[in-house]
Structure formats: structure tokens, C-alpha cells
Structure 1
Amino acid sequence: MQNNRNLDEQSSPQLISHKEVLAMFHISSKAAIYKWRQNRGFPDPVTLMPLRWLRAAVEEWKENVGGCGR
């Protein structure tokens, strides 16, 4: 069983915070995520306060589309 203390405080096995998304893709700006949403089909967040995404949707996007710059 995964220790939830290793996850960002706003993350869970089902949800991923913007901090964890930034770390996953080795980026430092939320602006990149917004560009990916507009131009590359990155999933929309499921909550805005705090900003979180479905972990499975982000992992699927990473595997199928990738997170390389642009």
C-alpha cells in the first residue's frame, strides 16, 4: 500500500496536484500546463481550488501524447 505521506498534500492515489504535475513533467510554470490544455489536449482539472487533475487522465496523456515542451 502506498504511503500517502509521499504524495503532495493535495494529491491522492486518484488525484494529482499542480505541484506534482509540474514535477512529473520537470517544468516550473503552470503556464506550460495551460498551453498544453489549449494546444495539446492536456486534461482539464477536476477542481480549481485547489488545482487537481485525475491522476489516470494525466498519466494517460503523458503516455499517449507526451510532455515534451512546445
Structure 2
Amino acid sequence: MDKDLISENDVFGMLGKKRTAVYRLRKKYGFPEPVLSHPARYRRSAVRQWIDEGGVNRKSVV
């Protein structure tokens, strides 16, 4: 298994959010989509980059 993949629960822990909040972050704030579904897996590097770039406060790229 790819060591960069993390579970949905790990993402919830990193963000301090629950499933519906993460869904809203994806739709409204450009949070990374899961790379696998059932069970959902996210790239740790993509989540970390999103956080490091400011998360919901990041500047939009036009």
C-alpha cells in the first residue's frame, strides 16, 4: 500500500472536522478529493499542501 495514502478518519483528525465538513471543504474550498473510494483514501501530501497553503483562507488561483 502507498505510504502517502491516509484514511478518511486520519483526515478528520488532521482537520478536526467530520465527514460533512470535509465534503463542504472539497466543494467550496478546493480541499483535495480522495484518490480512492470505499474506503476513502487521501494523499497525505495533498492534504498537507492544502493546509500549508492556508486551507480555507488560501488565496484562490486565477
- Report the TM-score, using the length of structure 2 for normalisation: 0.79
Structure 1 runs (4+) greater than 4 angstroms displaced: none
1:49 maps to 2:38: yes
Q: CA RMSD in A?
A: 2.0
Distance between the aligned counterparts of 1:67 and 1:18, measured in 2?
Answer: 19
What amino acid maps onto 1:40 in structure 2?
Y
What amino acid maps onto 2:50 in structure 1?
W
Q: Give the one of 56, 62, 65 matched to 2:54.
A: 65
1:1-70 matches, within 5 Å, as: 13-27=3-17, 29-66=18-55
Distance between the aligned counterparts of 1:55 and 1:41, measured in 2?
Answer: 15
The structure that is helix-richer by fraction is 2
Distance between the aligned counterparts of 2:37 and 2:25, measured in 1?
Answer: 17
Identity %, equivalent residues: 35
> Higher relative CO (CA 8 A, sep ≥ 6), structure 1 or 2?
2
Q: Is the 8 A contact 2:26 2:32 kept in 1?
A: yes
SS of 1:47's partner is coil
Instruction: List alignment gaps of at least 5 residues for structure 2.
Output: 58-62
